[in-house]
Structure 1
Amino acid sequence: MGDKPHSCEVCGSSFARKSHLWSHMKRHTGEKPYSCEVCDSSFAWKSSLFVHMKRHTGDKPHSCEVCGSSFAQKSNLLSHMKTHTGEKPYACEVCDSSFAWKSNFVSHMTTHTGDKLHSCEVCGSSFAQKSTLLNHMRRHTGEKPHSCEVCGSSFVQRSHLLNHMKTHTGEKPHSCEVCGSSFAQKSHLLTHMKRHTGDKPHSCEVCCSSFAQKSNLLRHMSTHTGDKPHSCEVCSSSFAWKSSLFNHMKTHTGDKPHSCEVCGSSFAQKSHLLTHMKGHTGEKPHSCEVCGSSFVQRSHLLNHMKTHTGEKPHSCEICGSSFAQKSHLLTHIKRHIGEKPHTCEVCCSSFAQKSNLLCHIRTHTGEKPHSCEVCGSSFAWKSSLFDHMKTHTGEKPHSCEVCGQSFGWKTNLLNHVKTHTGDKPHSCEVCGTSFGQKSNLMRHMKTHMGEKPHSL
């Protein structure tokens, strides 16, 4: 018993039978005499060829008595049974982690030893597992062998395909015990949990900002380096993140795959759809700690905060005017260059902003979608409703720094200030008389036309 007279001269392994030694020697010589006639794969052992052929025939003779799953090899069935029994016989002596399969245990041990024996011949990257190296190589070759039968999307790894399939089934088996949110992938749940715990283990060495995920830290670092490696082949725009490039490309293709089930609006990005949906639900999760105003998007809150701080970082190079938001600066620039790309199809009036055109259209349709809940008055523009509400509240937030007089509307304050400065920018072309307000000039013009202006 235990006698192994046949030894390998290469590595010293011993075997009870000479045939076993011959089979073993193929590992050293690389000999693979058994070839598959279907796909030309080669194998060192005939038994391996038989197992391989079942992939082509679809033969799965080994069935699980618990759930009915079938397998081509008995060893795969035995491994599968551990998912039902929960058996994890392979324990790590370093961190007490346990594994159902030896291969997982061996892979895990490399995390402690740091051993990376498998190197990429293209870029030199090293990996602890050969399977990881093979997956890495597909980045160089562009190979994506795992395809979705529903939509045709292809993936480098089978695990990525399995995760993708959940987008079609809607399956979200991983639930958060704190708030009940569900996720398709366990990794997404673990990332979500950090929001509850506040755990941010990944810190930036430049500005000390902390992040819950390493990927977010890597994205953040580009703000310091200015690196934008992802370029658009259509317009040469560059982006720091590949996801930003993908989203940008939709501006060229016009692809808007995400549709609103309420009003039918379509969006290029899912995040834009989710933001849009808040307009239907009325949800405004981002609140200002100074005045209590609420906003649908965090970016809107950040822009709003500048009204409290007075920050105006965006300056016009032509006239020096400053703005809190870059979009306001870009709109302002159009006034200098006279650009008005948005034209009304009814009267051919042109506007610098599309929002102004949409508001203008209401002068033709008579639409007044914004109603006062106090008196029922309706207005074409939301800003007009806000101004109207001051007649009910008596609010006068705009004060004169010279005399302290308060006004409900900023335009009234600006007109009032001219009484202190003596500024009269509105001149009569007939007699040359100047006025501080345009309304006063219009009233004056009636005296030349023989009209009797209405007395106040």
Structure 2
Amino acid sequence: MKTKSERLEAKLKKKKQVKIKPGAELQKHRVNAREVILYSNATPIRCRGGVGYACCFCKDQFPDPGDLKRHTNESHDDSEKSTFMKGRDMISYVVKLDITALKCKICDENIDTVEAMIEHLNASHNHETFPDVKNHILPFKFEGDTLRCFMCLNVFNKFKVLQEHMNTHYRNFVCDVCDAGFVNRHILYCHTEIHRIGSFKCDHCQLVFETVRKRKFHIRSAHGDMNLHKCGYCNQRFRENWYKNEHLAEVHGVKSPSVKCQACDKAFDTRQGWLLHTKRVHLMQKQHKCSECEMEFFSKRELNDHAVKHTGSREHQCEICMKFYGRLKTLKDHMRRVHADRQFKCMKCELSFMQKSRLRIHLTSKHKEDLKSVSEENQQ
């Protein structure tokens, strides 16, 4: 009985050479993607949906990309895979491919990249692939709990952001204005909107915007449905993405992956938080210099707090004892040390007071509460 490798080799010998017309770039891309998917363990990813990584051949989604790989290999045969990307045009052509532990199915050789696999199938197994075309396949490796670009080792906590980042490595089309690179022409075209300056009037009101992107955001926020962030488990919608993330954690037990700092092992809920931490703590970037002395600071707020030392300004007042302080941090320290025993707590915010009269003044001045209703609430 023939082994799997021998059956593949026999199939290869019967396989007719693909006839490609000169200049038929799109068909070359389709052949490359099809050959890699058929003769390696690479798995195509449709997108990262509401529940997980979506299969390209059915509607199933999987939180773990390893489960998608097993599903694709077990549930979809070569006849389905051979028609992959059929009907897609060149302007928007892009393939998202999981190449974790990539190996050739014919000879079981481990291969590191998509480009190397395309060349390997051509040179070692006589498959007619086309290494000469610009690659429109975005490769991803899922190793460990951290979502990372395997090419530059940058860390991400969302697949969508990692996918956008991959354009920096596949600069097939380059913006003439800012030199940003993109994997296909459609993404470049969408990007060029940020450089179009003019007068763009809202279709629903009289407001005019200087860029198309600003107009689109205005229409979406002022005239459209702002509940754009949909839960993939129950289809509930949210105005902000962080509301959806809270809902996923509390209702469905799904937490967004954190970004771990490789220098000190701290973890952050967002990539932005990790970047700020890295710049502040490990790179020690200090871009804000004091004009009165030689001290430098990471943020504008830190510089403003320091400037009090030179100006003597005291703008932060304690609402309990009415003392003034130059820095908000100093005021908070004062509240913690001096007024820790506050028993009269405001139901509208987090402030507490030592005297009921101070609470009443606070409610009427800060929360516009009626004195009579405040008195009735206190008596109940």
User: Do they fold alike, i.e. is TM over 0.5?
Assistant: no
Please report the TM-score for the alignment, with normalisation by the length of structure 2. Answer: 0.32
Please report the TM-score for the alignment, with normalisation by the length of structure 1. Answer: 0.28
Work out which of the two has the higher radius of gyration on C-alpha atoms and give 1 or 2. 1
- Larger RCO (CA under 8 A, 6+ residues apart): 2
